Amino acid sequence: MRALSLSLRCVLSLTCAGLLASAAQAADNKVLNLYSARHYQTDEALYANFTKQTGIRIQRVDADDAGILARLKSEGTSSPADVVLLVDASRLWRAEVDGLFQGIRSPVLEAKVPAQLRGKDSGQGSPWFGFSTRARMVIYNKQMVSKSDVDTYEKLANPKLQGKLCTRSGSHPYNLSLFGAMTERLGAPATENWLKGLVANMARTPKGGDTDQIKATASGECGVALVNSYYLARMLRSNKSEDRDAVEKIGYLMPDQSGAGTHMNIAGGAVARYAQNRDAAVKFLEYLASDSAQAYFADGNNEWPVVKTVKITNPALDSFGAFKTETTPASVIGMNQVKVQQMLDRVGYK
């Protein structure tokens, strides 16, 4: 009778396909709808392993962070999303503020994911959890710049580096997160003055991605640049001769080892606000905190796992050595992004 009733409704409704799909999914409950900003080939094995362990099939929609947030907003209560994966603290915070996630309580996640790598618990549980981290590193051309002149983020604004600094767009989430962390460390006035110094030291108008910054620094177009660690690790592990030649020409370091520590950005996940498969979604997030999944992040995509007991066997990550990391909560860094964007506009950081 239910099937007949649903069929009659479909005759009268423009959403027939959606109703039938929802009914089939509810009957099965073995499908998880994933919206992912992670575009890494190694993640295919990550997802396949989850299906093998649980029997839950993953249906994935891929887009960048901004595209996923826009889609969730436009879909509203009709969104099929169960889990959302994003690759930046500022985007996770924005989705939290916009009410696109639902808080969850999970003893597994709360035991494994450090408190500073979770969203703010407002009484309903954490709205998101970080599962891997990346360092915002400094690289430099060894023939043009001395290591001691670039071993802190603040030194990048020193006039002696005029005409030597390269970055991607200041408004890119990776930089927004770093600048949000600096705002928390220095205060807004000092951070804005620091950003002015960065603009004054630019070798070129900000452009390209982090791999482009590495190559431009190796070629001598730039003397120093900011990059996320997993881009550099990827080149360190590459068999391509041009990649090997590039990394031989640069030095790299984790900034602020005598101060607040190196800024760490995160990739994280959440249960979508209108998830129809909530239990499966929580199970998937708990799986991402398992030792096997955390090993995929480290060995497959050159990210540091958030679960500290997981053994890392990635030689590129090992080559970075032990280093001091910042302790500012990712949610606090995200909260600063609006203020940071206003500062970038005032100082002319493109």
pLDDT of residue 317: 95
Please report whether residue 209 resides in a domain. Answer: yes
Q: Tell me: do 194 and 121 sit in the same domain.
A: no
Q: 124-143: string of b/e by CB count within 10 Å (b at 16+)? A: ebbbbbbbbbbbbbbbbbbe
Please report whether residue 273 resides in a domain. Answer: yes
Please report whether residue 42 resides in a domain. Answer: yes
For 322, the token pair is 């032990």
Residue 301: give the domain boundaries.
Answer: 32-132+264-315
What CA–CA distance (Å, rounded) separates 282 from 63? 22
Please report whether residue 125 resides in a domain. Answer: yes
Q: Tell me: do 148 and 258 sit in the same domain.
A: yes
Own/partner contacts of 2-8, CB < 8 Å, gap of 24 or more, are none
What CA–CA distance (Å, rounded) separates 139 from 45? 31
pLDDT of residue 29: 58
Please report whether residue 7 resides in a domain. Answer: no
265 DSSP assignment = E
Q: Tell me: do 61 and 98 sit in the same domain.
A: yes
Q: Tell me: do 71 and 187 sit in the same domain.
A: no
Q: Tell me: do 48 and 191 sit in the same domain.
A: no
**SS3 for 345?**
helix
Q: Tell me: do 211 and 329 sit in the same domain.
A: yes
| CATH number of the domain to which 68 belongs | 3.40.190.10
Domain count of the chain? 2
Q: Tell me: do 164 and 287 sit in the same domain.
A: no
Please report whether residue 247 resides in a domain. Answer: yes
pLDDT of residue 300: 87
pTM (predicted TM-score): 0.86
Q: Tell me: do 293 and 331 sit in the same domain.
A: no
Q: Tell me: do 125 and 162 sit in the same domain.
A: no
Please report whether residue 19 resides in a domain. Answer: no
Please report whether residue 11 resides in a domain. Answer: no
Q: Tell me: do 147 and 218 sit in the same domain.
A: yes
Q: Which residue's entry shows tokens 């930046």?
A: 88
Q: Tell me: do 240 and 330 sit in the same domain.
A: yes
Q: Tell me: do 61 and 169 sit in the same domain.
A: no
pLDDT of residue 41: 75
pLDDT tens digits for the chain (350 residues)? 434 333 333 333 333 444 334 434 443 458 999 999 998 777 888 999 999 999 999 999 999 999 999 999 999 999 999 999 999 888 899 999 999 999 999 999 999 999 999 998 888 999 999 999 999 999 999 999 999 999 999 999 999 999 999 999 999 999 999 999 999 999 999 999 999 999 999 999 999 999 999 999 999 999 999 999 999 999 999 999 999 999 999 999 999 999 999 999 999 999 999 999 999 999 999 999 999 999 999 998 899 999 988 988 999 999 999 999 999 998 899 889 899 999 999 999 99
Q: Which residue's entry shows tokens 């590193």?
A: 137
